[in-house]
Amino acid sequence: MVKIHTIGGFSEVGKNMVAVELEEDAFLFDQGFFLPAIVSMEERERVLTERRLRSIDAIPDDSVIEKIRHKVCAQFISHAHLDHVGAVPFISDRYNAPIYATPFTVKILESLLKDNDIILKNKVYAIKPNTTFYIRGKNRKYKVDFINITHSTVQCLLIAVHTPKGAIIYGNDFKLDNTPVLGPKPNYKRLREIAKEGVLAIIADSLYSGAEKKTPSERVARAILQEVLLTVQNKNAGMIVTTFSSHIARLKSVVEFGKKLNREVIFLGRSLDKYANAAKNIGVAPFFRDIKISKYRSQVERTLKKIEKRRHKFLVVCTGHQGEPGSILERISRKDLPFKINKEDNIIFSSSVIPAPTNLEQFAKMEKRLKKYKPRIFRDAHVSGHGGREDLRDLIRILSPKHIIPSHGDPQKTMPMADLVSEMGYNKDKQCHIMRDGEVLKL
Q: Which residues bind Zn ion (CB under 5 A)?
A: 81, 173
Cβ distance to Zn ion smaller for residue 62 or 173 = 173
CA 318, CA 320: separation in Å to the nearest integer?
7
In the complex, least distance from residue 98 CB atom to Zn ion, rounded to whole angstroms: 22
How many whole angstroms separate alpha carbon 133 and alpha carbon 250?
A: 31
Q: What is the spatial distance between Cα 108 and Cα 80, in angstroms, rounded to a whole number?
A: 6
Q: How far is the CB of 247 from Zn ion (least distance, A)?
A: 10
Closest CA relative to residue 18, chosen from 184, 283, 204, 296: 204
Give whichever of 18 and 200 is closer to Zn ion, judged by the CB atom. Answer: 18
Nearer to Zn ion, 81 or 389 (CB): 81
Q: How far is the CB of 79 from Zn ion (least distance, A)?
A: 6
Q: Helix, strand or coil for residue 159?
A: strand
Residue 395 phi/psi, 5° resolution? Answer: -65, -45
Identify which of residues 166 and 385 has a Cβ nearer to Zn ion in the complex.
385
On whether the CB atoms of residues 209 and 417 are closer than 8 A, the answer is yes
Question: Per DSSP, which regions of 141-299 are E strands?
Answer: 141-149, 156-163, 166-171, 199-205, 239-243, 264-268, 292-294
For Zn ion, the closer CB: 229 or 248: 248
How far apart are CB 291 and Zn ion at their closest, in Å?
Answer: 24
Please answer whether residues 96 and 123 qualify as being in contact, where contact means their C-beta atoms are separated by less than 8 angstroms. Answer: no
Closest distance between Zn ion and the C-beta of residue 171, in Å? 11
Smallest distance from the beta carbon of 173 to Zn ion, in angstroms? 4
How many whole angstroms separate alpha carbon 14 and alpha carbon 384? 16
Please report how close the Cβ of residue 14 comes to Zn ion at its closest, in angstroms. Answer: 10
Tell me how far apart the 2 most distant CA atoms of the chain are, in Å: 68
- The angle formed by the CA atoms of residues 288, 293 and 296, to the nearest 5 degrees, is 155
CB of 134 to Zn ion, least distance (A): 27
Q: Are strands 25-29 and 72-76 parallel, antiparallel or unpaired?
A: parallel
> Helix, strand or coil for residue 316?
strand
**Terminal Cα-to-Cα distance of the chain (whole angstroms):** 6
Residue with smaller CB distance to Zn ion, 145 or 173? 173
Q: For Zn ion, which is the closer residue by CB, 204 or 341? A: 204
Shortest reach from residue 105's CB to Zn ion, in Å:
11
Task: Give the burial class of 161: count Cβ atoms within 10 A of its Cβ; 0-12 exposed, 13-18 middle, 19 or more buried.
Answer: buried
- Closest distance of CB 321 from Zn ion, Å: 15
Cβ at position 81, least distance to Zn ion in Å: 4
Helix, strand, coil % over all residues of the chain, rounded to 5: 35, 25, 40
Nearer Cβ to Zn ion, position 81 or 393? 81
Nearer to Zn ion, 80 or 229 (CB): 80
Are 191 and 158 in contact, with CB atoms under 8 Å apart?
A: yes
Nearer to Zn ion, 171 or 258 (CB): 171
For 418, left (φ over 0), alpha (ψ -120 to 50), or beta?
alpha
Do residues 33 and 87 make contact, with C-beta atoms less than 8 angstroms apart?
yes
Compare residues 21 and 173 and give the one whose CB is closer to Zn ion: 173
